[in-house]
């Protein structure tokens, strides 16, 4: 398999879905983009309907079930967008969303209404200039976080241009990428590509999105080595997902896998309230129970911070008693970093 699977026909001919699922799959494909990279497709056992890689990328009929608490913009990106492509929610850092396509489409994606060929599109050259102008003008911005979509899907030329422009902004000290490419298409990360990601005088981080130890393939490991050799710092981010990694054993293996590769575990995300993703969600108390089984049993280096993004754009907070009040049986309340409390799930 050498091509990314992008259509229902591709999925059927690869054996990942059966012919009698065609009608449902076509229905899902009308709303949400599909892509499974060759490497990840090769890691799926097509005979196992609960394969942890397959569940992440092969569409499921449950995606057509939308529940009341789900939100098109679950983490409130739109509320904090001063210019197209920028999300400025916290004082010292911004998201720069230059692109809205991904190498693979995770079925649980929190930005699923914005990503994909039919999503928000990529920034034009002028829009990118305007976004950079916003960063240049706002001197309290210390860190630029390239996300999207997947920023590492951009051409080497465009990445190099962005890094060159950012490296000239004095108040920017750190440039961070959030990406699935090291897991989905590690072959893309060759030496020339790596050199496009460095910027003189800035520290560069890549937070690698990975949810299951089987995603840590040999080609992925080699790509990480090439990035590290260039001085790029690697972090992990993982989404806690029902039937995929809602298990202390699997999470331990994943975190130890990261640390063995020199990747520092950063965030374990509680799943967001994205449309058609209820089959991936577990409750906060279930999540906490699983997460607590890591502390002490595996190295302190292997402990991510378990976080939840408060719906509506109030930011991420740790899922701990300091921030979560679940003493009232009918509704959980979450405190944001500014001290305000919010109902979870939110109620109109």
Ligand X SMILES: *Cc1c(COP(=O)(O)O)cnc(C)c1O
Active site residues: 89-90, 93, 102, 106, 109, 111, 272, 309, 316
Sign of CA dihedral 290, 293, 295, 301: negative
Residue with tokens 């979560």: 324
Assess 270 for contact with ligand SF4 (CB under 6 A).
no
The binder of ligand SF4 chosen from 10, 89, 97, 111 (CB under 6 A): 111
User: Which listed option, ligand SF4, ligand X, none, makes contact with residue 150 (CB within 5 to 8 Å by class)?
Assistant: ligand SF4
Tell me the two tokens of residue 269: 């995300």
φ, ψ (nearest 5 deg) of residue 145: -110, 110
- 163, 114 contact by CB (below 8 A): no
Assess 281 for contact with ligand SF4 (CB under 6 A).
no
| Contacting range for ligand SF4; rule: CB under 6 A; set: 85-93, 99-107, 130-138, 295-303 | 99-107
List contacts with ligand X (CB under 6 A): 75, 87, 89-90, 93, 95, 145, 316
Tell me the two tokens of residue 138: 């706002």
Q: What is the β-pairing status of strands 341-344 and 324-325? A: unpaired
Q: Which of 66, 24, 103, 127 is nearest to 273 (CA)?
A: 66
Tell me the two tokens of residue 152: 């590492």
- Scanning residues 148 to 207, which ones bind ligand SF4 (CB under 6 A)? 149-150, 180
Query: 115 or 197: whose CB is closer to ligand SF4?
Result: 115
- 7, 36 contact by CB (below 8 A): no
User: Which listed option, ligand X, ligand SF4, none, makes contact with residue 111 (CB within 5 to 8 Å by class)?
Assistant: ligand SF4
**How far apart, in whole angstroms, are the C-alpha atoms of residue 281 and residue 274?**
10
User: Which listed option, ligand X, ligand SF4, none, makes contact with residue 316 (CB within 5 to 8 Å by class)?
Assistant: ligand X
The binder of ligand SF4 chosen from 102, 220, 234, 241 (CB under 6 A): 102
Which residues of the chain form contacts with ligand SF4 (CB under 6 A)?
102, 105-106, 109, 111, 115, 149-150, 180, 209
């Amino acid at each position: 398999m050498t091509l990314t699977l992008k259509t229902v026909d591709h999925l059927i001919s690869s054996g990942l879905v059966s012919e009698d699922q065609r009608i449902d799959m076509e229905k899902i494909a009308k709303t949400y983009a599909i892509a499974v990279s060759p490497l990840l497709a090769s890691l799926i056992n097509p005979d196992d309907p609960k394969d942890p890689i397959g569940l992440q990328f092969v569409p499921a009929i449950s995606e057509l079930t939308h529940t009341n608490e789900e939100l098109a913009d679950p983490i409130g990106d739109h509320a904090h967008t001063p210019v197209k492509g920028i999300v400025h929610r916290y004082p010292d850092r911004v998201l720069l969303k230059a692109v809205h396509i991904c190498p693979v489409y995770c079925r649980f994606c929190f930005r699923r209404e914005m990503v994909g060929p039919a999503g928000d599109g990529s920034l034009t050259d002028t829009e990118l200039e305007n976004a950079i102008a916003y960063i240049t003008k706002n001197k309290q911005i210390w860190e630029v976080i390239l996300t999207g979509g997947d920023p590492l899907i951009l051409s080497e030329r465009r990445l190099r241009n962005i890094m060159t422009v950012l490296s000239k902004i004095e108040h920017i000290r750190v440039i961070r990428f959030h990406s699935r490419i090291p897991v989905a298409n590690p072959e893309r990360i060759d030496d020339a590509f790596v050199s496009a990601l460095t910027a003189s005088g800035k520290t560069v981080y890549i937070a690698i999105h990975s949810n299951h130890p089987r995603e840590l393939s040999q080609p992925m490991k080699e790509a990480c080595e090439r990035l590290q050799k260039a001085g790029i710092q690697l972090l992990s981010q993982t989404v806690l997902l029902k039937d995929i990694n809602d298990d202390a054993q699997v999470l331990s293996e994943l975190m130890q896998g990261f640390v063995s590769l020199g990747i520092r575990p950063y965030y374990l995300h509680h799943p967001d309230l994205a449309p058609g993703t209820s089959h991936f969600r577990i409750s906060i108390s279930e999540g906490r129970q699983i997460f607590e089984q890591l502390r002490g049993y595996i190295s302190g280096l292997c402990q991510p911070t378990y976080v939840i993004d408060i719906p509506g754009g109030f930011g991420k907070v740790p899922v701990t008693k300091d921030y979560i009040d679940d003493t009232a049986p009918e509704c959980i309340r979450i405190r944001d970093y500014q001290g305000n409390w919010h109902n979870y799930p939110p109620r109109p």
